[in-house]
Chains A and B, each alone.
Chain A
Amino acid sequence: ILNVEQSPQSLHVQEGDSTNFTCSFPSSNFYALHWYRWETAKSPEALFVMTLNGDEKKKGRISATLNTKEGYSYLYIKGSQPEDSATYLCAFFGDYKLSFGAGTTVTVRA
C-alpha cells in the first residue's frame, strides 16, 4: 500500500482568509497526482489532475502545485468562503493503482 499523507488532518479558517495544505507521496513510479473535493453526503468531485513536475493548476480561488522530485503537492484556497468547507483528498496514481490520502477537512467560519 503506497503511503500518501495529507496534513493537517483538519483546519478551521476564517471567512476571507487564505489557507493551504499538503499532500506527500512516493517520488518513484509517479504517473499522476489527483485532487478531489468531497462535501458531506456527496461523492468526491475532481479538482485537478497533474502529471508534470512544476505543474500549477487553478480553478477559481483554488490552485495547486506539484513537485514530483520531492514528492509533494500543495492545495491553496484564496479568500475562503463557507462553500469551500469540505474534505480535500489527494490521490497518487502509479502502477495503475490510485492511492488516496486520508484527506484534509476544511471548515470555513463566517
Chain B
Amino acid sequence: EAQVTQNPRYLITVTGKKLTVTCSQNMNHEYMSWYRQDPGLGLRQIYYSMNVEVTDKGDVPEGYKVSRKEKRNFPLILESPSPNQTSLYFCASSWGQNNEQFFGPGTRLTVL
C-alpha cells in the first residue's frame, strides 16, 4: 500500500531533550516536506527536500533540522525542543511541485 508513515504519532517531552520524528514513504517520491499545524494558522512548511542530499528551509525552520540521506526517509530533528514547538506535525511527499502531496498521519508533539 502506498503510504507515508510517521513515528511516533504522539510524544510528550520536556524542554531541551533532543528528539527525532521519523518520516518514510514507499512511493519513490522525490519531493518531501515537513509542516506544522497550529490553530488559526494553517499548515506552515518547516523544511523541504527536492531529492537526496538536497534540503532547504521553508517558512518556519528555526529550531528544526532535517536530513535526506535516502530517498524514502526524511527525519525531523529538534535539537533542543521548546514549548513553542508544541504542535501537530505532518510529513508529506510527492513527485514534484505539480503533483499532489501525500500526507502522513501526523505527530502530535507536546513540549513541557
Contact = CB atoms under 8 A, between A and B. Distances in A.
Q: Are A and B bound to each other?
A: yes
Given A97-B45, A97-B48, A44 B97 contact: no
**How many A residues touch the partner, as a band?**
20 to 34
Contacts of B40: 102
Interface stretch (B20-28, B63-71, B79-87, B103-111): B103-111
B109 to A, nearest CB: 16
A105 B59 CA distance: 23
Q: Which of B44, B90, B98, B102: most chain A Cβ within 10 A?
A: B98
Given A46-B100, A93-B97, A102 B41 contact: yes
Nearest to A103: B42
What are the 5 A-B residue pairs with the smallest beta carbon separation, nearest first? A46-B100, A102-B42, A43-B103, A100-B43, A100-B42
